[in-house]
Amino acid sequence: MSGRLVVCATPIGNLDDVTLRLLATLRTADVVACEDTRHTLGLLKRHGITAKLVSYHEHNETQRAPELVARIAAGETVALVTDAGMPLVSDPGHVLVREVVAAGGRVEVLPGPSAVLAAVVASALPADTWRFVGFLPRKAGELRALFSGARETLVAFESPHRTAAALAALAEVDRDRPVAVCRELTKLHEEVVRGGATELAARYAHAEPRGEVVLVIGPPPPVAPDLVAALDALERLVAAGARARPAAQVVAELTGAPANALYQGLLERK
């Protein structure tokens, strides 16, 4: 295939959040496949760009993808955009990328604005390890299971109409779990509200947020290991013939208790 597919991240709010590569790609692409042609037209007009647009959204991507693959095979450049942020990330685009790759085509990705990354940074919550879960499940039981099982920071999209319910489900799991409600990121009325799950559940139960919402939920506090139980286990291993230091290391890895503290505790018991 002599053409290429260029996957383009577009502004999540502020239309000036563009890169020079994005503008050059939109100017020179043979066709721009967009989630909503009217929305993309606003971005193009803002930067004085004229381009041929075709619709590519969740309801027609299966039917539209073969047509776009054929254009790429014929040597054309197809730019793929969504209404905001990176295509494929809780947005259409996977079908087209999959089909182009399957046909041996060239796929380029232009990095750019991301509500997920902006929210993680703005939340002031741990960002060394985090997990994006897309849109939160609707059922309360599934929500509680998700929140209960998380050991890292969670990032999720949520409807403003369901934000209070999601926070209430989180508060049932851990009333003090830290959370940030990031609203209208990069837009005129951008707001980041930080607090505990119970506090924010009460706040939004009486005042539904407006606009696009990203929730960032901090990890639960670490659970202190049961040193007595760990020491008992180490003592049984040594009594069964295990060497004290290697056994202390194994028990430490299994329980989270410090290996040195276990070894010293064993010596004190003798």
pLDDT-above-70 percentage for the chain: 99
Q: Can you tell me the distance from the alpha carbon of 246 to that of 149, in angstroms, rounded to the nearest whole number?
A: 31
| β partners of residue 132 | 155
Give yes or no for a contact between 226 and 234, defined as CB atoms under 8 angstroms apart. no
pLDDT at residue 224 greater than cutoff 70: no
Residue-wise pLDDT tens digits, 162-212: 999 999 999 999 999 999 999 999 999 999 999 999 999 999 998 999 999
Using pLDDT thresholds of 50, 70 and 90, give the confidence band for residue 30.
Answer: very high
The CA-based angle 220-224-230, given to 5 degrees, is: 140
Burial letters for 86-121: b for 16+ Cβ neighbours within 10 Å, e otherwise? bbbbbbbbebbbebbeeeebeeeebebbbbbbbbbe
Res 223: pLDDT:
63
Task: Please report which confidence band the pLDDT of residue 109 belongs to, taking 50, 70 and 90 as the band edges.
Answer: very high
Cα(158)–Cα(185) distance, rounded to whole angstroms?
14
Q: How many CB atoms neighbour CB 67 within 10 A?
A: 13
Task: Tell me the pLDDT band of 58, cut-offs 50, 70 and 90.
Answer: very high
- Cα–Cα distance, 170 to 55 (Å, whole number): 38
pLDDT number for residue 130? 96
Two structure tokens written together for 258:
């410090």
In the predicted structure, residue 125 carries a pLDDT above the cut 80: yes
The Cα 168–Cα 201 span in angstroms is: 5
Domain borders along the chain are 4-113, 116-217, 227-269
Degrees to nearest 5, angle at CA 241 with 238 and 242: 60
CA 70 – CA 153 distance, rounded (Å)? 42
> In percent, how much of the chain has pLDDT > 90?
84
pLDDT over threshold 90, residue 265: no
Which CATH number describes the domain made up of 4-113?
3.40.1010.10
pLDDT at 268 over 90: no
The answer to whether domain 4-113 and domain 116-217 are alike in fold is no
116-217 CATH pick, 3.30.2290.10, 3.40.50.300, 3.30.950.10, 1.10.8.640: 3.30.950.10
pLDDT at 6: 98
Name the maximum alpha-carbon separation found in the chain: 83
Mean pLDDT of the chain: 94
Report pTM: 0.79
Residue 72 — very low, low, confident or very high, per pLDDT cuts 50/70/90?
Answer: very high
DSSP E strand stretches across the chain: 4-8, 31-34, 53-55, 77-81, 106-110, 130-135, 153-158, 178-183, 191-196, 213-217
The token pair at 192 is 């980041």
Q: Beta-carbon neighbour count of residue 62 at 10 Å?
A: 11
Which residues lie across from 155 on neighbouring strands?
Answer: 132, 216
Looking at the predicted structure, is the pLDDT value of residue 256 above 80? yes
